[in-house]
Structure 1
Amino acid sequence: MAQPSTTPAAIRREDYRPPGWTVPDITLDFRLDPAETQVHATLSVVRRGAHDEPLRLDGAGQVPLSVKVDGVAINDWRIEGEQLVVPLAGDAHRVETEVVIAPDRNTQLMGLYASGGNLCTQCEAEGFRRITFFPDRPDVLSVYRVRMTAEARRFPVLLANGDPVASGTNEDGTHWAEWHDPFPKPSYLFALVAGDLAVHRGSFTTMSGRAVQLGIWVRAADLPKTDHALHALRLAMAWDERVYGREYDLDVFNIVAVDDFNFGAMENKGLNIFNSRYILADPDTATDYDYDAIAAVVAHEYFHNWSGNRITCRDWFQLSLKEGFTVYRDQCFSADQGSAAVKRIEDVRGLRASQFPEDSGPLAHPVRPESYIEISNFYTATIYNKGAELIRMMATMLGPVKFRAATDLYFDRFDGTAATCEDFVACMEEAGGIDLTQFRLWYAQAGTPRVSVGLAHEPGGGRATLRLAQHVPATPGQSVKHPMVLPLKIRLFGAETGRALTDETLILLDQLSETITFEGVTERPVLSINRGFSAPVVIESDRTAADLAFLSAHDDDAFARYEAMQQLMLDTLVAGTINGVVQADAVLDAVARTLEAEGLEPAFLAEAVLLPSENFIGDQMMTVDPDAIHAAREELRERLGRTLEPVWRRLYAEMAQDAYIHTPDAKGRRRLRNVALGYIAASGAPDAAATALAQFDAADNMTDRQAALTTLVNSDAPEREDALARFHARYADNALVLDKWFQTQALSSRADTGAVVARLARHPDFTLTNPNRARALVGAFGVNQRAFNAADGSGYRFLADQLIALDRLNPQTAAKLLPPLGRWRRFDGERSRLMRAELTRIVETPGLSKDLFEQASKSIE
């Protein structure tokens, strides 16, 4: 892991060359042991094209014990860097290697590693090279045959990709299993699991009548917590058949849950490996958010079977080909399971919280990047979430019928191949009958477009004129930007009558500016724009507070209605932060009208009345003032709580439920009740803490219990410490719930949160070796704007210390937690200096990984 004396070399998209050798087939023979696993690999290799290059196989740390070519041991192989170079004279050979690896010392959690007494793999992006020597790139597709031998008592379950072929026992107390995956796949999709696991079995009959055996493998004690995940899997399989016509293609589909995992989950062909947090759920330990996240991630990984596995990406620059498309698919699936409006609100909130800041900071990069030092650093919100928005925009422009035809064409044309983003867009063009030449800029240009909007009305002539102009800010390496194609859904409403004056119209803004005229507009119009968030842009309009309040009450697009309220709140809070005075009347009136409106579902009401986050408020300002933002937001929360206290108390009582059930309506009622509890607490009501503690004690589900705990943790009430102690005692043996205990405190709005987090980092239950625990405390603290940005720089020092320590164990996780320090340009001079000093300290740390070096060095430039 030693940091090179010079900057690590960047890999560039323009340098892509097809592989010189292909590997049609590979056979792997594992003798599994945590301390010393032997891996024997047999590769059938075929020269590709006319060249005399040797075979180059990627590795990471291991030394080959033997190398054979066509059954004969050779000695003229060599190691160059981390590649095994084998001179080969002919065009087709059988190459065998044998290596030894140590899974129990693999803290990076890439390749084959130990977790909770089990052995498992994570190979995306470049983990397979830590298992054996192989051309570890996504455009080398192979048919895999795998044999595993392990101690039967210790590892009674042996799983791999594909379908099981054979199994048996040996006289020495070991047993073996063989698996075969008939579908060619890249090495990053290889998976293996060995352990003492129990299975929750199910089945699914495909649309062609094939029976598929389903299995979710967990520790025996966790079996009761797998019902929801299995149900979500069946729903996803049926949905993909119905919406995309995609049928599952193997006889078995297995999911394994592990505690130590860098990602949420991994789509390995036929053997998905999951972070336990995205599988295990029961009402006592999982919130409604957890339930929804489990269903979404299970669906996401299953959908990858076609959008990622059957068609993979040619190179890692095309990562969004599979991830952007699959995120879009899982978002649509989730929208179909409950409230589509609330799902869209949640997705956009997430985009603004993570991707918009990324697009405006030092780590900004296009959806299809041009270069990278460490590919793991490009598993970002831009690749995933912005990539999904690109698919959504194309779906909007094509319409549902043509979009389905285009995806059918894509699946049929590129099945079994490694494709590119360009291949996908070309299918959209061909089947959709549309020219997407300019739209391709979305893949090449970083940055979030900003659209300025002005609407003028001529009362006498009945004419309204809409003026639009777009601007894409400069980003690192891209100072000159070109106009994008922006699909903007708009509609005009009458300010006096509240009725719609026009139909919803889709405008494709593809120039720097455009003017659109509407005739027959007999009353002053109010503009509803970017309805449904049809384009991932920032709207800068001349709409007044009265216009926004009007839209929050009358817009017939649920997202636009929510957006109007959010913009009204945001404008109020930005002005209050700058001026020191919060003019709250317009927000108070708008929220009151929304709460009294008829026909709005509780889940939507809960989202509509929440204030924008402190981070999002800061994103609107040239210089972020964390203390002033916090003060303004707390003042508005207090005003909303106090002025509307009778309404909050009524809702708190009305939304109560006799017993826990998991339905969309019940989730919405819980959500609104807990939002009401938060506002009751914000009002300063003397019984707020007692109300929260009573809910904490009476709760029959984690959603209500954690909401009550959060309310208390944000307060100065004496009940706070009691609730924290009892929560910890109750869930001391449940790692996933303890993550919530750490995270809730790290996100607290109290002034002493920084000191509390520093103490928690020394708590016996805190460890950096588990990525979930590191994210729960260190990651959550980094996004707590007020606490992290303490004026004395203590938050910056804490994060830097934790990242340097974590980098020695798990560079990938460390790198993902660094971005809060990269926002130093947005803060006042002293904070900026202190943040930059910590970035410098990180960069200058001896032995820094490529992962953290790339992120820190780019952030400091």
Structure 2
Amino acid sequence: MKTDTPRVIRLSEYAPYPFTVESLDLAFDLDPKATRVESTLKLSRTGDSGAALELDGEDLRLVSVAIDGEALAEDRYEATDSGLRIAKVPDAFTLTITTEIAPEDNTKLEGLYLSNGMYCTQCEAEGFRRITYFPDRPDVMTTYRVTIRADKGVNPVLLSNGNRVDAGDLDGGRHYVTWEDPFKKPSYLFALVAGDLARVQDSFRTRSGRDVELNIWVEHGNESRCPFAMESLKKAMKWDEDVYGLEYDLNLFNIVAVSHFNMGAMENKSLNVFNAKAVLADPETATDADYAYIEAVVAHEYFHNWTGNRITCRDWFQLSLKEGLTVFRDQQFSSDMRSAPVERIDQVRSLRARQFPEDAGPLAHPVRPDSYIEINNFYTATVYMKGAEVIRMMHRLLGEDGFRKGMDLYIARHDGTATTCDNFAKAMEDASGRDLSQFKRWYSQAGTPQVEAEGRFEDGVYALTIRQHTDPTPGQDTKHPQHIPFEVGLISRDGAALPLRLEGEPADGEAPLTRVLDVTEAEQTFRFTGLEAEPVPSLNRGFTAPVRLTAPWSDADRALLMRYDPDSFAKWEAGQQYATQLLLNAVNERAAGRNVAPDATRFVDALGTTLSDETLDPAYRAQMMALPTEDYLAEQMPVMDVDGVHAAREALKRDIAVTHADLFTKLRDQHRAAAGPFAPTAEGAGHRALANGALAYLTTDPANAHLAAEQYDAADNMTDRMAALRVLVELDVPERDRCLTDFHDRYQHNELALDKWFSVQAVAARPDTLARVKDLMSHEKFTMRNPNRVRALVGAFAMGNPTVFHAKDGSGYAFLADRVLELNSLNPQIGARLLQPLGRWKRMDEDRRKLMTAELDRILAAPDLARDIYEIASKSRQA
């Protein structure tokens, strides 16, 4: 039984580091079992004269310590499992430390490790301490000079941050390269890569006329799968210059793709390290979603050069300072590169699927957390996605010009420093003149605001009353009203957009057709005048605020908004909320023993009208076609009924499919043809999305399984092949096993494609899925040491298959707990992320609650439980 509780780190306890690191020289002698690292730090005291020097360090073998060239006897320092302490040091001195590490044995993939024979680092958040002893915190910034020595035959490529300043051969077939980064950075941005890599090279000319060398380094044989990532990089560099006036600051930019990586990518200064799935793409192996993901991730990591690297976090509680801001910037970029309405819908789908449940569960925390045990656990949907929504709301409140002025001021003030979310907000305030005092509650207050709208029409005036409240979350029982930017419109009963003139405004002049209300109180009423009849309100247009909205819309109102709302998001939202209400009513009827489903005729007809509207973007119509997910529907219930939700959703799909069978056949044929030969364009992706959505409806009738099999066989791209396979894995037809076998045999030597093969089986809502998943764990290509493969099989099952994961016998819970315990010693960071579905036990029925909490207790009772897993399990259990 675990008895030692890990220490809690608190924002309130922040104190500056008492020393400045003037410079750091690192020398690496690479060896899989015994890499030797010599670090030379020039330090000067900035704090109390009596303060000891304390450095972080984990899993290191200390070889020697010297101050100003004099070796220290063992009684002069104290080395522990967590660091190195030297009680007495001068006010200014040079510290030289030699350590030894074993990259080959590093299964945690933090620090320096091997990925398919290639040396690679991951130092965010606290991986640098697994390389050498150092003040491993983001507010300690210094310049780095790095020399790497290695066997030239095995590791011909030696990379680090900054500029290559020296290189040469050594005795014994070895060689060296020295890199120097002119910009100060924290240790989490340090990077080293060494191996036998192929290079894909290009260049970019900045707006000031400098030529930047661009390189993507990959394993040999993957060169042909890099052009899309390279073009995405150049687009991102151009976009950042055009939109934010930000130019790249060095003459070299490297990206390296690795097979084993805990994250999507890492923005190390000038040497971005990427999970291979965020770089490699070709039509045969990458879907349209993969291409869009690569484009967004490449942009995200590049944008970090200014919002994350040049300006970084003072402490890890400020993580959203860089991540929320940079997610918002990559979302802007994707919206400009693709369909803005479709991108916004995708963003909101993801927010509701991942962040809203986090806000409503035991792991709820503010965008700027107050405390943590393991910082790796706070790379969360709240910090990233809700953090981006906070920036988006600022952008909406200040306007395009005001926000740009705020960004310019923020960069001018804080370039080259480690700063805070408050300082970012202050720059926005000073540049715009707006008071953001109340708005900053979005950083400190956890939970999703619940917004209730009520309308009343009388004597030509429509009074819209908005009420807000936020439920208590762990550690925050009392909530205060947020400043909510809330965009609204009014639609007449014949579908016309109406002018919005607030009571008291002059009657002359043209009133706007949409406007953003500042909701700042628990209850406010906004009165719109000059109306001839009661309108239908269009609320939270564009999802201007990340809130849960309740409004008194009738079925007729929702159908009208689906047809006529000029705001693309609000039109989609009306359909989603209409479908949600129908489905939840059906679940309740089933639970009450009544098997008569609510009448969905009006919704089905309105959906058909929208799907038939050829003036709408095909990608947008594909979004309209997709019903709310089972996870989202279950989240709307006080007690989740996963079986009832699945049954109701499948029934509505069949109803829609039968009613619009001819339309779906037409859409499938028309848009397969319109897509033409595969090209990774947004236009082609839209045609494929609509055609494949139609196929999914047509194959709700198993008699149409041949349509999916024919598409699988004829596909010239992975998007269409996977769309067909996703349909077939749900069906009991011979084509299912045939196509699964073909896919395996076709792609067995392609790691990223094979991940898709594992995942598509793990998410099938079939009674035999868990048995299939267990069998797949014995597959020769499955390993718990590869995070991508673990996420593809175990993660897909636990997080993407609610029907089977929540089996009544608890088998899904036991399976997940076994995998988390297995990862405890291998890669606890991944184990902690997989564990989170068990934290939703309070939302389940009594029998499932007992089964889920029993597995949490089993995990907590395990010996030597890693901090990552302990924190998630203990918070989940105590909820």
Please tell me whether residue 476 in structure 1 is matched to residue 486 in structure 2.
no
Please tell me whether residue 586 in structure 1 is matched to residue 602 in structure 2.
yes
Please tell me whether residue 678 in structure 1 is matched to residue 696 in structure 2.
yes
Secondary structure at the aligned position of 1:438 is classed as: coil
Corresponding position of 2:416: 416
Post-superposition offset of 1:77: 1.4
Mapped partners of 1:827, 1:586: distance in 2 = 32
Contact kept in structure 2, 1:324 and 1:387, CA below 8 Å: yes
Secondary structure at the aligned position of 1:481 is classed as: coil
Post-superposition offset of 1:535: 0.2
Structure 1's unaligned 5+ residue stretches are none
Corresponding position of 2:138: 138
Deviation string 1:37-61 (CA, Å, 9 cap, x unpaired) is 0000000011013431121111002
Corresponding position of 2:802: 785
Choose which of 793, 802, 821 in structure 1 pairs with 2:819: 802
TM-score normalised over the length of structure 1: 0.98
Post-superposition offset of 1:187: 0.2
Post-superposition offset of 1:79: 1.8
Post-superposition offset of 1:313: 0.1
Please tell me whether residue 84 in structure 1 is matched to residue 63 in structure 2.
no
Post-superposition offset of 1:754: 2.1
Mapped partners of 1:604, 1:34: distance in 2 = 51
Deviation string 1:380-413 (CA, Å, 9 cap, x unpaired) is 0000000000000000000000100000000110
Post-superposition offset of 1:521: 1.1
Contact kept in structure 1, 2:111 and 2:127, CA below 8 Å: yes
Secondary structure at the aligned position of 1:516 is classed as: strand
Q: Size of the alignment, in residue pairs?
A: 855
Corresponding position of 1:532: 542
Post-superposition offset of 1:497: 4.6
Corresponding position of 1:15: 13
Contact kept in structure 2, 1:582 and 1:632, CA below 8 Å: no
Post-superposition offset of 1:756: 1.8
Please tell me whether residue 73 in structure 1 is matched to residue 71 in structure 2.
yes
Secondary structure at the aligned position of 1:808 is classed as: helix
**Where do residues 189-204 of structure 1 align in structure 2 (5 Å cutoff)?**
189-204=189-204
Post-superposition offset of 1:80: 4.4
Please tell me whether residue 650 in structure 1 is matched to residue 696 in structure 2.
no
**Where do residues 76-115 of structure 1 align in structure 2 (5 Å cutoff)?**
76-115=76-115
Post-superposition offset of 1:685: 5.6
Aligned amino acid, residue 468 of structure 2 = Q
Aligned amino acid, residue 420 of structure 1 = T
**Where do residues 567-646 of structure 1 align in structure 2 (5 Å cutoff)?**
567-580=577-590, 581-646=597-662
Secondary structure at the aligned position of 1:172 is classed as: helix
TM-score normalised over the length of structure 2: 0.96
**Where do residues 762-781 of structure 1 align in structure 2 (5 Å cutoff)?**
762-781=778-797
Aligned amino acid, residue 601 of structure 1 = D
Contact kept in structure 2, 1:12 and 1:371, CA below 8 Å: yes
Post-superposition offset of 1:498: 3.0
Post-superposition offset of 1:456: 1.3
Choose which of 521, 525, 545 in structure 1 pairs with 2:555: 545
Corresponding position of 1:42: 40
Corresponding position of 2:774: 758
Corresponding position of 1:662: 680
Secondary structure at the aligned position of 1:439 is classed as: coil
Corresponding position of 1:343: 343
Mapped partners of 1:269, 1:320: distance in 2 = 18
Secondary structure at the aligned position of 2:705 is classed as: helix
Contact kept in structure 1, 2:26 and 2:39, CA below 8 Å: yes
Mapped partners of 2:749, 2:730: distance in 1 = 25
Contact kept in structure 2, 1:843 and 1:856, CA below 8 Å: yes
Mapped partners of 2:208, 2:253: distance in 1 = 17
Flag the 1:207–1:610 CA change in 2: closer, same or farther, 3 A.
same
Deviation string 1:497-519 (CA, Å, 9 cap, x unpaired) is 53334321111111000011111
**Where do residues 36-435 of structure 1 align in structure 2 (5 Å cutoff)?**
36-75=34-73, 76-435=76-435
Contact kept in structure 2, 1:494 and 1:501, CA below 8 Å: no
Contact kept in structure 1, 2:61 and 2:101, CA below 8 Å: no
Secondary structure at the aligned position of 2:517 is classed as: strand
Contact kept in structure 2, 1:37 and 1:101, CA below 8 Å: yes
Flag the 1:766–1:89 CA change in 2: closer, same or farther, 3 A.
closer
Mapped partners of 1:63, 1:826: distance in 2 = 47
Aligned amino acid, residue 247 of structure 2 = E
Deviation string 1:176-230 (CA, Å, 9 cap, x unpaired) is 0000000000000000000000000010111111111000000120000000000
Deviation string 1:786-844 (CA, Å, 9 cap, x unpaired) is 01000000000001011110121000000011111000000100011101100110111
Mapped partners of 1:333, 1:717: distance in 2 = 43
Post-superposition offset of 1:735: 1.0
Aligned amino acid, residue 580 of structure 2 = L
Post-superposition offset of 1:496: 2.9
Contact kept in structure 2, 1:496 and 1:523, CA below 8 Å: no
Structure 2's unaligned 5+ residue stretches are 501-512, 591-596
Secondary structure at the aligned position of 1:456 is classed as: strand
Post-superposition offset of 1:64: 1.6
Mapped partners of 2:603, 2:462: distance in 1 = 28
Post-superposition offset of 1:68: 0.6
Mapped partners of 2:657, 2:498: distance in 1 = 33
Choose which of 542, 557, 570 in structure 1 pairs with 2:567: 557
Post-superposition offset of 1:4: 6.0
Aligned amino acid, residue 530 of structure 1 = N
Mapped partners of 1:685, 1:639: distance in 2 = 14
Aligned amino acid, residue 382 of structure 1 = T
Mapped partners of 1:669, 1:596: distance in 2 = 14
Post-superposition offset of 1:759: 1.9
Post-superposition offset of 1:35: 1.1
Corresponding position of 2:506: none
Mapped partners of 2:194, 2:24: distance in 1 = 20
Mapped partners of 2:447, 2:791: distance in 1 = 27
Contact kept in structure 2, 1:236 and 1:299, CA below 8 Å: yes
Post-superposition offset of 1:258: 0.3
Aligned amino acid, residue 13 of structure 2 = D
Contact kept in structure 2, 1:310 and 1:415, CA below 8 Å: yes
Aligned amino acid, residue 107 of structure 2 = T
Deviation string 1:625-650 (CA, Å, 9 cap, x unpaired) is 11111000000001111110000000
Mapped partners of 2:771, 2:663: distance in 1 = 36
Post-superposition offset of 1:750: 2.1
Secondary structure at the aligned position of 1:733 is classed as: coil
Mapped partners of 1:228, 1:218: distance in 2 = 14
Post-superposition offset of 1:12: 0.3
Mapped partners of 2:284, 2:771: distance in 1 = 30
Contact kept in structure 2, 1:825 and 1:832, CA below 8 Å: yes
Aligned amino acid, residue 218 of structure 2 = V
Post-superposition offset of 1:714: 1.3
Choose which of 740, 744, 769 in structure 2 pairs with 1:724: 740
Corresponding position of 2:721: 705
Please tell me whether residue 519 in structure 1 is matched to residue 537 in structure 2.
no
RMSD: 1.0
Mapped partners of 2:548, 2:643: distance in 1 = 25
Mapped partners of 1:455, 1:694: distance in 2 = 52
Higher mean C-alpha deviation, range 752-761 or range 399-408: 752-761
Contact kept in structure 2, 1:746 and 1:780, CA below 8 Å: yes
Corresponding position of 1:823: 840
Higher mean C-alpha deviation, range 386-395 or range 745-754: 745-754
Mapped partners of 1:765, 1:584: distance in 2 = 46
Higher mean C-alpha deviation, range 287-296 or range 82-91: 82-91
Post-superposition offset of 1:656: 1.2
Contact kept in structure 1, 2:495 and 2:565, CA below 8 Å: no
Flag the 1:497–1:363 CA change in 2: closer, same or farther, 3 A.
closer
Aligned amino acid, residue 692 of structure 2 = N
Post-superposition offset of 1:737: 0.7
Deviation string 1:528-576 (CA, Å, 9 cap, x unpaired) is 0100000000100111111111001101111111001100011111111
Corresponding position of 1:485: 483
Contact kept in structure 2, 1:202 and 1:213, CA below 8 Å: yes
Mapped partners of 1:606, 1:106: distance in 2 = 44
